[in-house]
Amino acid sequence: MQHNPGVTPRQPDPAPGAEPERGLVVAVLPPDREADELAELRELARTAGVATIDEVVQHRPRPDPRSYVGKGKLDELKQAFGDAGADVLIVDDELGPSQQRLLEDALQARVVDRTQLILDIFAQHAVSAEGKLQVELAQLQYNLPRMRGMWQHLERLGGGVGTRGPGETQLETDRRLARRRIAILKRRLAELSRQRDTRRKSRRRSQTPTVALAGYTNVGKSTLLNALTGAAVSVEDRLFETLDPTTRTFAHDGRRYLVTDTVGFIRRLPHQLVEGFSATLEETLVADLVLHVADASAPEDRLHEMVDAVNAVLEDIGAEELPVELVLNKIDAVDALTRRRLANRFPGALQISAATGEGLDELRERIAERFAGRFAIVELLVPYSEGGRLAELYALGPPIELREDRPDGVFIRARLPEHELSRFAPFFVAEARTDDASSAAR
């Protein structure tokens, strides 16, 4: 078996009816924060196949740099872990290597921090070859400073006689192999990024507007993609169900639009994932419009927290300058009073239900309005001898509104991308008008 240092192999899914792992959750929260913040961590654990059976919370300004929780709380944690019969300790923070090692030694059990938990979920959900490469890269970058493995008993001896030799050599070899693998993965992902850029250039040539769905994980982005485009991507009720960018098309009033579903965001998205999953996040950066999908059925404070978290990630990846439309999904699960409150709290945000179809026509119209100025309505007369130009016109997509075969050629009324007007100018029989101008004329 090939030795792949630093990478956590994907574990097989538990058999139906099998007992999930039992996890105890621990968190250090500032004095002004409540323990209900752990709801997200519990949902992450559920998605990873862990049942949370108890929680330990310590309120202090910041975690202890050595043991994460304070000394007294550590004794309480050891007692609670044993009494609960837990299999694993789940920490709602990214631990330093020394913090993780001390907790493991104190509890004599596995300790999984927030980043490791999310990486485990990503490893379970990665489907495409690129997604698996991204997961492996993120895992290696996380595990490299934590590599001890089978040689940890030699590390603890602190050097000196009896500690030199193959143990230290093997550990350094593993680290070197891990660094080499990281470099290989980065090169492969860079090549895939160049291939994606080539595909994007072909899209831009046709000036097909691109819309990226962004939002907190599990707010219904994939369901919305399916509802808008007729796609059939997975919509299971799990966090991070979508890892690989999925692009589909829909047409409205004779114009075609591309819609891309992206990975869900989360509060404190680990930096390894921002770098490792740049492939997915790039689809947000190159979009013409970002639909920020939010869960209208979430409690008000939780909704604001999720919206703020997504805005923070968009800023982190450099997408804050893109035009954004806020869309409140799952409105079918909200009563009339809450709908009014949402309308007051988020003026201008569309209220939709991807599950029932409510508000989707208004959403399509809103998207079309965003790109109305990109097209011009023109009338052309293409001589029969210029059949090649007619083929070029059809190759732009579905911009043809009217076609009439006349004695002197083919009369066409079409919506053309602005940058294509000069190419077909010799055949104009009416002055080109933008969509807004033509609408006013009608």
Q: What is the structure's pLDDT at 99?
A: 93
**Closest to 397 in 3D by CA, of 251, 289, 211:** 251
**Portions of the chain given CATH number 3.40.50.11060:** 1-205
Q: Are 139 and 4 in contact (CB under 8 A)?
A: no
- Count other Cβ atoms within 10 Å, centred on residue 170: 16
The Cα 226–Cα 230 span in angstroms is 5
Q: Are 400 and 412 in contact (CB under 8 A)?
A: yes
Q: What is the structure's pLDDT at 28?
A: 92
Query: CATH number of 372-441: 3.40.50.620, 1.10.3720.10, 3.30.70.240, 1.10.4030.10?
Result: 3.30.70.240
Cα torsion angle, 312, 313, 316, 322, sign: negative
Q: Are 98 and 213 in contact (CB under 8 A)?
A: no
What letters, b where the CB count within 10 A reaches 16 and e where it falls short, cover 266-304? bbebbebbeebbbbbbbbbebbbbbbbbbbbbbeeebbe
pTM: 0.65
From the centroid of its chain, how far is CA 156? 40
Q: What is the structure's pLDDT at 81?
A: 93
**Portions of the chain given CATH number 3.40.50.300:** 207-370
- Count other Cβ atoms within 10 Å, centred on residue 231: 16
pLDDT tens string for the chain (442 positions)?
Answer: 344 444 444 444 444 455 788 999 999 998 877 656 788 888 888 888 899 999 999 999 999 999 999 989 999 999 999 999 999 999 999 899 899 999 999 999 999 999 888 888 878 777 777 778 888 888 888 888 887 644 444 444 444 444 445 555 677 788 888 889 989 988 888 887 777 666 556 555 556 788 989 888 788 888 898 899 887 765 555 555 555 667 888 888 777 888 888 767 777 766 666 665 555 566 676 788 889 999 999 988 889 988 988 888 788 777 777 888 999 999 999 999 999 999 999 999 999 999 999 999 999 999 988 887 667 788 889 998 888 888 888 777 656 778 899 998 999 888 777 767 788 888 888 544 444 444 433 3
Q: What is the residue whose two structure tokens read 């919370």?
A: 57
| CATH architecture of the domain with range 1-205 | 3-Layer(aba) Sandwich (3.40)
Query: CATH number of 207-370: 3.10.20.340, 3.90.380.10, 3.40.50.300, 3.40.50.2300?
Result: 3.40.50.300
Q: What is the structure's pLDDT at 292?
A: 93
The Cα 442–Cα 424 span in angstroms is 24
The full DSSP string for 17-47 is: TPPPEEEEEEEEE-TT--GGGGHHHHHHHHH
